[in-house]
């Protein structure tokens, strides 16, 4: 997380909801060989995160009991040109949004797998409404069981939540809004348009 506290004042509930709206992050544990990362979709349920890994995944092989882990969720981010501030003596920077969940990662028994998979698909299918949601009962049972044998469910009990919303809060309001407008107008992708919207909504702290 960024050391400057002005970027770390997002309320915990807001950071959690933001991370869940993304629903995809990098799961990381420490192993004898060094850090092991894996990129996973997830669903947040109260004080824990549910996810699954392919059994051949290095994390799945390493975690046989409760293990300290971190799930890093990266939101909209992008380069900010000094020219966009409309002020003198500025420097380039990178604005970004990130939420980290830390806690104990635990492998779950196989009888929890179907519920975990159904929770994940239900979470993301409902975002596609009015499309009729896909459900696992649309699959051939033999094909579904074959797929499930390759997957293991996991639970991350969240003990700590950290977030950084680096959105030029250190700049005067007019300077930040100028940069947000330039980002919105630039042809550098949908993600930066979301970043612009976030920048417009924060308050200056500088």
Whole-prediction pTM value?
A: 0.89
Question: Is the Cβ–Cβ distance between 177 and 158 less than 8 Å?
Answer: no
Show the DSSP H helices in 106-159 as ranges.
113-125, 141-148
105-120 tens-digit pLDDT? 999 999 999 999 999 9
Which residue ranges form the domains of the chain, and what is each CATH number?
5-197 (2.30.110.10)
Confidence of residue 206 (pLDDT cuts 50, 70, 90): low
163-172 tens-digit pLDDT? 999 999 999 9
| Beta carbons within 8 Å of 125's beta carbon, 6+ residues apart | 131, 133, 134, 135
């Amino acid at each position: 997380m960024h050391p400057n506290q002005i970027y770390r004042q997002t309320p915990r509930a807001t950071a959690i909801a933001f991370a869940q709206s993304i629903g995809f992050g990098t799961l990381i544990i420490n192993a004898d060989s060094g850090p092991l990362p894996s990129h996973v979709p997830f669903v947040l349920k109260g004080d824990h995160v549910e996810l699954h890994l392919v059994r051949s995944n290095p994390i799945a092989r390493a975690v046989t009991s409760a293990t300290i882990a971190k799930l890093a969720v990266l939101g909209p981010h992008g380069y900010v040109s000094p020219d966009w501030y409309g002020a003198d003596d500025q420097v380039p920077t990178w604005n970004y949004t990130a939420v980290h969940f830390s806690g104990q990662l635990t492998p779950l028994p196989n009888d929890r797998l179907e519920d975990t998979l159904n929770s994940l698909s239900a979470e993301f299918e409902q975002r596609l409404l009015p499309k009729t949601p896909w459900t696992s009962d649309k699959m051939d049972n033999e094909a579904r069981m074959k797929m499930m044998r390759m997957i293991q469910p996991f639970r991350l009990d969240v003990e700590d939540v950290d977030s950084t919303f680096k959105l030029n809060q250190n700049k005067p309001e007019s300077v930040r809004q100028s940069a947000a407008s330039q980002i919105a107008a630039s042809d550098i992708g949908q993600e930066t348009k979301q970043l612009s919207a976030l920048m417009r909504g924060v308050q200056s702290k500088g």
